[in-house]
Structures are given as structure tokens and as C-alpha cells.
Chains A and B, each alone.
Chain A
Amino acid sequence: MASTETQPATTEPRPDDERATSAAATTAARETPAPGSDLAGLEAGLDALDTHATARPALGEALRHKVLPPVLAVVLVLALWQAAFALDLKPDYQLPGPLMVWDALAEEWYKGTILGVVWQSVSRGALGFGVALVAGTPLGLLVARVRPVRAAIGPILSGLQSLPSVAWVPAAIIWFGLTNATIYAVVLLGAVPSIANGLVAGVDRIDPLHLRAGKVIGARGLRGVRHVLLPAALPGYIAGLKQGWAFSWRSLMAAELIATSPELGVGLGRLLDTGRSYQDMPLVLGAILLILLVGIGIELLVFAPVERRVLRHRGLLR
């Protein structure tokens, strides 16, 4: 017992000591210095032991792992294409070589029209997507949070996603004639369901604990939607937006390809149709390539960085 009292006050009594000794030992244990620097130091140690710095990989490594593989794949495809062309598997007017397609695009470029054509389609796609965003977000919120609404239109909304939006083109033409309204109607019918469904999926995946925590700190009603529900659903929402863009772009091409009229101007879909009517395969393939490039470009330049940023902030990346 005496030994217990002469020990430094900070030493913890061992459990077996504790049972054997009586009140005196307890008093000694309780006379530890008031929690202060000692505890702070212990805590700092625990924090340091348990914190892991997350370093981002070096630029060179990122290039090697992320950029090199797709570049190699593209080179491979071009090589196969060129080989098929050189072997004359099909007549040239059916299977032109990569260089012929390049020349067709270069010709359009020198005519000075190509940028206008791309811009026509991109601006339509962007506007249509923007409107779909404004319409799809409240719709998705309603379906996600209001049970009768969900029961009524939830299944229809997910069913609409599997309907190819090109099926709307004839109907839209009958309603709106060969006007811009037709094109936007088709784009919206394609994009709104995927944006709304993405938000519904995002809301469904929210940890209920976060909703309860939000209620506890007083984020209820609209403030709860703004500060807890929407940010918590953001990863699913962004996935929905990405898909919504893909659907906008697809629907737009379908509409431009079918609804052709001088008043509608020349977009990429129209360029494609022009190529078809002149049996100009290099131009057709060039237009397809441009459509593909715009779709991928917007995904890579707009959506991918936003998504990565959101996921990284939440510790969901790697």
C-alpha cells in the first residue's frame, strides 16, 4: 500500500492492485492532477496515431495510369481500321480509310461551317439539358419524398427511361410541326426522367442517420431539403445528371436526324443526314465521330471533374 502512495500520481493502478487495496489506494488514484496538459498530450498522441494523410498521386503516375490506356486503345482501333481499309475488305465508298474521313472533316472546316454546325447542336443540347434539370429536380424530389406521388408516377418515370426517345419524334412532329419545339420536346422527354430518377436513387441511398441528425440540429422542412437532403443525395444526383446529359444528346441527334427543315438550321444530325443523301460515307463517319467526341468531351470536361470533386471530399474515392 505504501508503494502505491509513493508512485508518481499519474500511474494507473493495475486492476489486481485495485481489488486488493482499500480506500487509501483509491484516494491516491483520485489525486491525479486536474485534467490538463497531461490529457491534452495523450489526446494529441492519439489523434496523431490515428490520422492518415491522404496524398494525391504524382502527375506522371496519373498520366501513365489514366491517360495512356485510352490513347493506346484509340491508336489500336485506328490501326485496325486502316488495315481493313488497306486490305480492301469493302469498296472505298462503303469503307473509307481514316485519312479520307479526316479529309472530309477538313473540307467542312475550310468551308467555315463546321464550328457553326457543332455549336448549333451543343447549344441546343445544353439548353435542353438546362431545362430538363430545372424540371427534373423538383419532380425527382417530389417522387422521392411524397409517398402518394411516388406510388403514382414512380414506376412510370422509371419505365420512361427504357423508352427510346426517338419514338417521341413522330408524335412531337404531329404536335409541334417541324419547329424547334419538336426538338426540345424530344430532348426533354429523354432527359427529364433520368435526372429525376437519379435524384430519387440518390435520396433513397441517404443514410437515415444523417436525416435524423439534420432534424436534431433544426434543419427541418425546406431548410432540411436545402442543407441536408440535397447535399446528401448529391452523388446519386450527379450520376443522374450525367445520364441525363447522355440522354439529352442522344435524343437531340435523333430529333435532328428525322426532323429536317431549312428553318431548323444545320446541326450535327442534319450534317449526318446530308452525308447520307449524297452517299458520302467519309462525311457520315466524320459526323458520327464529331457526335461521339462532343458527347465524350462534355462528360470529361464538365461532369467527371464535378463528380470526382464531390466524391473526393466525402472520402469516397479510393
Chain B
Amino acid sequence: MTVTTAAGTAARLTHVTKSFGPQQVLDDISVDVAPGEFVTLLGASGCGKSTLLNLVAGLDAPTTGTIEVPGGRPALMFQEHALFPWLTAGKNIELALKMRGMPRADRTDEAERLLRLVRLRGAYTKRVHELSGGMRQRVALARALAQDSRLLLMDEPFAALDAITRDVLHEELTRVWSETNVAVLFVTHNVREAVRLAERVVLLSSRPGRVARQWEVGIPHPRRIEDADVAALSVEITEQLRGEIRRHGQH
């Protein structure tokens, strides 16, 4: 486990629990994300991953425990693009810039720059419904980056995309991450995706969600999802994940 000092973290979760009424969803979660680090949270469906990200994003409060995000409000990308259909792609990004307090005169240039960063140079005036699924997620990524936050939360942002597009977006995300050195907390239930992207994989168990185990991923970039190293680590993690799920069947 990475050891960081309080000043040098992008996010610190300390003994976080969350219950909805009688149902305890998260139990004693302690995770640190270092500045610029890429962490994936891996867990079976319904284990509380989205709940955890909502807590970190400040959309909900933990039942007990503390969450510190020293770099200010984190950016959050959802599984669906969540772009505003009444605005163009460019204006969606500009709204985030405006909410961050950027003066009007600088916004258009900055929005164009962010669109170039996700390789959507000509998309400024496009309406959301005119974009493909992959393009929408890239605009959503650009909007999240527009918040200029030190921490980017991603809740299965590529789960609804086809395999080829997802593969391309993995490369894009890795590139954008290395160019911006933002810290990323990426949630997924796809083991290979977790290993493909992360420097560290945190496995959550289910009901209630606990940190079951963590892996440092030492595989150098550029990686591909079909790499043997990625596959080997994925097999190991999958075994552990299956063990966690099996445990539930025994009770």
C-alpha cells in the first residue's frame, strides 16, 4: 500500500462507512490516492463502487469516517455521458469553465484547447445528439478536465461502449492522464480494464464493500488490454474476486 503524508494526497478516505437505512453498503474503507496517481477500484456489481465515488465527489455524506480531498471539488465522469443536451459540445465545456470562475474572454480558447486534447478539434458547435457514443464520452472527459481539479473520479465511463471504441479511449485516457498529471480514481467491474489502466488496483468485496486486497501494477506503458502481463495479473485478481463472491454463497 502506498504511504503518503496528509499534504501529499489527492484524496484520503479514513474508515469510511455508508449505510442506506438498515443496509450497510460500505464498511471501513481506507484508501489514499497520491497526487497524479491512477487507482482503479474494482468490485462486483452492486458492491458500492458508485456509492463510494458519490461520497468522494461530495454528492452524498458518509455515515461515519472522513473523506479529505485537499485539491478542492473533484471532477466526476459518469457511465452515461451526462452532457447537457441543450448546449453544444463546446458550450458544455464552457459551462464548467464558467462555474470554475474563468473569465468569459478566455473560455472559448480554453474549450477549443480541451477539445483538441481529446482529439475533437471540429466538434465545438456539434450538438450532443449529433455525436457518437465515443465522442460523447470524450467531450465528457474534456468537460471533467475543464474543472481543472487535482482529482478525476470516473464511474465506469466506458462500460456502455463497444470494445474497439473502449480500447481507443483507454489509450486516450492514459495519454491525457500522463499529459495532465491529474490523479484518477477509476471505478470498474472489468478486471482487464482495471489492470490495463491503473498503477494500483483496489479490490472491493461485496456486502458490505470492504477493501479486500490491493495490487501495484508494475507493467510499463504503453500497455494493451491483450498483453500477456495484463492477462496474467488479471487472472490472479479474477481468482481473488471469484473467491470473494464464493464466500457469499457459503453463508
Contact = CB atoms under 8 A, between A and B. Distances in A.
Contact of A47 (B132, B147, B220, B224): B132
Instruction: Assign chain B's interface to a size class.
Output: 35 or more
A70 interface: no
Contacts of B226: 12-13, 15, 18, 29
Given A34-B222, A35-B171, A223 B99 contact: yes
Interface stretch (A130-138, A146-154, A207-215, A256-264): A207-215
Given A216-B76, A314-B129, A39 B59 contact: no
B178 to A, nearest CB: 10
B224 A219 contact: no
Contacts of A228: 84
Contacts of A218: 73, 96, 99-100, 147
Instruction: Identify the interface centre among B78, B84, B224: most chain A CB within 10 Å of its CB.
Output: B84
Contact of B127 (A21, A227, A313): A313
A21 B226 CA distance: 12
A104 interface: no
A315 B99 contact: no
Give the secondary structure class of A's interface.
helix
Given A51-B130, A219-B95, A234 B59 contact: no
A30 B224 CA distance: 7
B175 interface: yes
A217 interface: yes
A313 B85 CA distance: 8
Contacts of B73: 216, 218
B78 A234 contact: no
B237 interface: no
Interface of B: 57, 59, 73, 75-76, 78, 80, 82-87, 95-96, 98-100, 119, 127-135, 143, 146-147, 164-165, 168, 171-172, 174-175, 220, 222-224, 226-229, 231
A277 interface: no
B80 A209 contact: yes
A290 interface: no
B68 to A, nearest CB: 18
A12 B80 contact: no
Contact of A39 (B100, B131, B172): B172
Contacts of A22: 228
B223 A50 contact: no
A54 interface: yes
B72 to A, nearest CB: 10
Contacts of B220: 30
A81 to B, nearest CB: 45
Interface in A288-318: 310, 313-315
A26 B229 contact: yes
A158 interface: no
Nearest to A209: B82
Contact of B165 (A32, A39, A46): A46
Contacts of A215: 59
11 contacts: A29-B224, A30-B224, A34-B222, A43-B168, A51-B132, A209-B82, A216-B57, A313-B86, A314-B85, A315-B127, A315-B130
A213 B82 contact: yes
A217 B227 contact: no
A142 interface: no
Contact of A315 (B75, B85, B168): B85
B227 A315 contact: no
B156 to A, nearest CB: 13
Contact of B84 (A15, A30, A40, A210): A210
Contacts of B146: 217
Nearest to A310: B86
B165 A54 contact: no
A47 B99 CA distance: 29
A40 B128 contact: no
Contacts of A40: 119
B228 A18 contact: yes
Nearest to B147: A217
9 closest A-B pairs by CB: A315-B129, A50-B132, A218-B99, A213-B82, A26-B228, A314-B85, A217-B96, A216-B76, A231-B86
A67 interface: no
A141 B198 CA distance: 44
A23 B168 CA distance: 24
Interface in A11-47: 12-13, 15, 18-19, 21-23, 25-26, 29-30, 32, 34-35, 39-40, 42-43, 46-47
A23 B230 CA distance: 12
B59 A21 contact: no
